[in-house]
Amino acid sequence: MASRRALHFVFKVGNRFQTTHFFRDVLGMKVLRHEEFEEGCKAACNGPYDGKWSKTMVGFGPEDDHFVAELTYNYGIGDYKLGNDFLGITLTSSQAVNNARKLQWPLSEVAEGVFEIEAPGGYKFYLQNHSLPQSDPVLKVTLAVSDLQKSLNYWSNLLGMNIYEQDEEKQRALLGYSENQCKLELQGIKGSVDHAAAFGRIAFSCPQKELPDLEDLMKRENQKILTPLVSLDTPGKATVQVIILADPDGHEICFVGDEAFRELSKMDPEGNKSLDDAMAADKSDEWFAKRSKVKASG
């Protein structure tokens, strides 16, 4: 499974302006590409919504060799109820810690040299106060599970992830496809996992020829397939094939064909401007809508 890659985590964001400020100015990530869509995604990339939406990829470097965040914004939806499913992303960046202090973004030290910070919407990040490494600063994504052994069987035996660490007493395990990639940490919790409305999605790539085999495997093992193998179009860019799965706790997992995804995910030098233009237009639309209501009531 060495050919598989951890790609990104999908966040639903209600306040695109504040969220962009957090990822760009506090964490210090770059806008890698920004895309606007007039209708909902066939693979529910934007959640169970049919209207206009946008996707913004942000990260510390190119998607070819960095784990990034996908910021999904559904026009007209201002917030999402959080569940207990997403427990945080851990990254290494003393610059992010300094940025947070300078911008007076709330920080709390939860361990020596490790700071907890919240993105708009309540998503937690853990910042290790060290210089940016030469490789990807994003170290791990932590998800809650209700039965660690059942989850390990799914992620390791079915999806082929390596188990790098396992602690039965603390009910946690660290998995991944390669030592030099962002890891997936599974943390056992008491009770069931609640995804609420803010539920995210973790994405991986594999050679495109493996996708039908992965789908067949999940069918044989009676595992949940949320979206069978489907082609997704992005205007003016490569068409990719994806399959969307769900683990035993309902965490959404996207597998995408690697070859086409590398084409799709090339950094767009106009990405920053495209996002800023979209936000300006959205802000203008809201202002005009409010102004029209005032005039109508007057």
The CATH number given to whatever domain includes residue 197 is: 3.10.180.10
Domain assignment of residue 273, yes or no: yes
- What is the tens place of the pLDDT at every residue in 105-119? 999 999 999 999 999
Domain assignment of residue 295, yes or no: no
Domain assignment of residue 296, yes or no: no
- What is the tens place of the pLDDT at every residue in 167-220? 999 999 999 999 999 999 999 999 999 999 999 999 999 999 999 999 999 999
- What is the tens place of the pLDDT at every residue in 135-145? 899 999 999 99
Helices assigned H by DSSP within the chain:
16-21, 94-102, 148-152, 211-220, 258-264, 271-297
- What is the tens place of the pLDDT at every residue in 226-271? 999 999 888 778 899 999 999 999 999 999 999 999 999 999 999 9
Domain assignment of residue 93, yes or no: yes
Range of the domain at 227: 5-288
The SS3 assignment for 196 reads coil
Q: What average pLDDT score do residues 11-31 get?
A: 97
What is the reported pLDDT for 286? Answer: 52
Which residues are CB-neighbours of 171 under 8 A, at least 6 positions away?
148, 187, 188, 189
Domain assignment of residue 294, yes or no: no
What is the reported pLDDT for 289? Answer: 41
- pTM exceeds 0.85, yes or no: yes
* Tally of domains within the chain: 1
Domain assignment of residue 18, yes or no: yes
Q: How far apart are CA 31 and CA 20, in angstroms?
A: 9
What is the reported pLDDT for 293? Answer: 41
Domain assignment of residue 38, yes or no: yes
Q: What is the percentage of the chain residues whose pLDDT exceeds 70?
A: 94
Domain assignment of residue 263, yes or no: yes
Report the mean per-residue pLDDT for the chain.
Answer: 93
